[in-house]
Amino acid sequence: MSQGQNSITSGVQNGSHRKPAVIPFSSRLIEGRALAQDVWSIFNAANLPSDCLNFGQGYMNFAPPRWITAAAEEALNTVGPNHYSHPKGRPRLRQAIKQFYGPQFNRDLDSESEILVTSGANEGQYSVFTAFLEHGDEVIIFEPFFDQYLPSVVFNGGKPVYVPLHPPSREITKPTSNDWTINFEELRASVTPRTKMIIVNTPHNPVGKVFTRAELEKIADLAIEFNLLVMADEVYDCLVFDNKEHVRIATFPGMWERTVTVGSAGKSFAATGWRVGWLIGPASIISPTLAASTRIVFCTNSPLQEAAAAGLEQVAERRFFETQLKDYQERRDTFVSAFDRLGVTYTLPEGTYFVLMDSSNIKFPDDYPFPKSVLGRGRDFRACWFVAMEIGVSSIPVSEFYCEEHMAIGENYIRFSFCKDLDTLKAGVERLQNLKPYLA
């Protein structure tokens, strides 16, 4: 991009004109799609009807368990947790992570060198990219992808390489997330001499796919063959339904030394605003990532680390994750009943709290008054806007989670989040029945 283009693009709005910026901004903001109006801004509550039920963004409308928030209150009323923590994370939380996750990795984790507490899972991932990517290094990302991957890779000089999960065949009348498949010939072909890393998100946002052991074994074989770092984004590890197996790729032979596993207190304890996450991996990955994280945020929220520690310390005796999983499976089954009653196709998720509906049968008038922010995007943007305005239920267009080349794959789908209380979900189920007149 030329400096002139940058100056024009980076101008500030002044009525209907743009003033050229005095200092051009970095082109990485454009390459990372950071400047485009993002989907969260378009489908923000401020832009939607006041009574619209928000099933778009993945945040809960219920509080964390009282015994965890009580631990936060206790920490806030104690001197130590109100001050800086060690950049590695508070010792109590690292010890709790060691005790809870060690058996799942079949390892006696070293809380000093193999665990890093981060300011949410996203900052942890960003720090890994900062620590390991050289300019031009390639990072393989499965599509659709968590939208923060793209700017985080680009901002650190990396180049995303996209491998799509292939949607279910139209012949499958009741698809599950397992019917979104990887073409392993495509995956192998995506590896080049510049490939440095592959991101494996399981359970997967937004598909809800739980990668099978066989799929992960093939990915692991490629990682070993081509000496790739694997980022195992497993923030939804406690939300796996229908007795499916959550497999940790780091436990495969030869994979511990090349895998960093990402976890999240926000996803685990319905506390996404706390911004407490963690990384688990060998010292050879954690040590340079700690160096990066220390310069990015220095340390993570101290009192809420104490609360997250209390959470992990007590989940076993309280059977919290088992109870929470049962509750989420009830939420999932309640919400997808809306699609069963409508007779529309959807992907039954085997993990996470997201469900994809095929919106290709939703018919809206050609002259419907869509805003400019929606026009020129995938068809799913218009479908989501129409459903929000006419039905009063918000969702998120899935084409946002694809590169421009592959966007057409996603534009048949819209994503709903069912991390809401049952009353809200039931209200959404009833509202969605009003879609019937608009279905082909």
300 three-state secondary structure: coil
134 contacts 157 by C-beta, under 8 angstroms:
yes
CA–CA separation, 210 and 162 (whole Å): 19
Per 3-state DSSP, the chain is made up of helix, strand and coil in percentages (nearest 5) of 45, 15, 40
What confidence score (pLDDT) does residue 170 get? 87
Q: What are phi and psi of 406, to 5 degrees?
A: -105, 10
Is the same domain home to 235 and 123?
yes
Is the same domain home to 146 and 259?
yes
Is the same domain home to 350 and 246?
no
What confidence score (pLDDT) does residue 228 get? 98
Whether 42 maps to a domain, the answer reads yes
Amino acid type, 438? Y
Burial readout 238-277 (b: 16 or more C-beta within 10 A, e: otherwise): bbbbeeeebbbbbbbeebbebbbbbbbbbbbbbbbebbbb
CA–CA separation, 275 and 72 (whole Å): 13
Residue-number span of the structural domain to which 433 is assigned: 32-58+322-438
Is the same domain home to 338 and 301?
no
Whether 15 maps to a domain, the answer reads no
Whether 69 maps to a domain, the answer reads no
What parts of the chain have a pLDDT lower than 50?
A: 1-16
| CA 427 to each of CA 58, 343, 400, 414, 431: distance values in angstroms, whole numbers, following the listed order | 18, 18, 27, 19, 6
- Note the pTM of the prediction, 2 decimals: 0.91
What confidence score (pLDDT) does residue 182 get? 97
Is the same domain home to 285 and 364?
no
207 contacts 144 by C-beta, under 8 angstroms:
yes
Is the same domain home to 259 and 329?
no
CB neighbour list of residue 302: distance below 8 Å, 6 or more residues apart = 75, 80, 81, 82, 83, 84, 85, 90
Q: What rounded mean pLDDT belongs to the chain?
A: 92
What confidence score (pLDDT) does residue 25 get? 83
What confidence score (pLDDT) does residue 106 get? 96
Is the same domain home to 256 and 221?
yes
pLDDT digits (tens, 9 = 90+) for 316-361: 999 999 999 999 999 999 999 999 999 999 999 999 999 999 999 9
Is the same domain home to 311 and 348?
no
113 contacts 283 by C-beta, under 8 angstroms:
yes
What confidence score (pLDDT) does residue 313 get? 97
Q: What are phi and psi of 190, to 5 degrees?
A: -80, -15
What confidence score (pLDDT) does residue 70 get? 95
What confidence score (pLDDT) does residue 265 get? 95
What confidence score (pLDDT) does residue 18 get? 60
**Where among 300, 317, 334 does a domain terminate?**
317
Is the same domain home to 290 and 204?
yes
Whether 426 maps to a domain, the answer reads yes
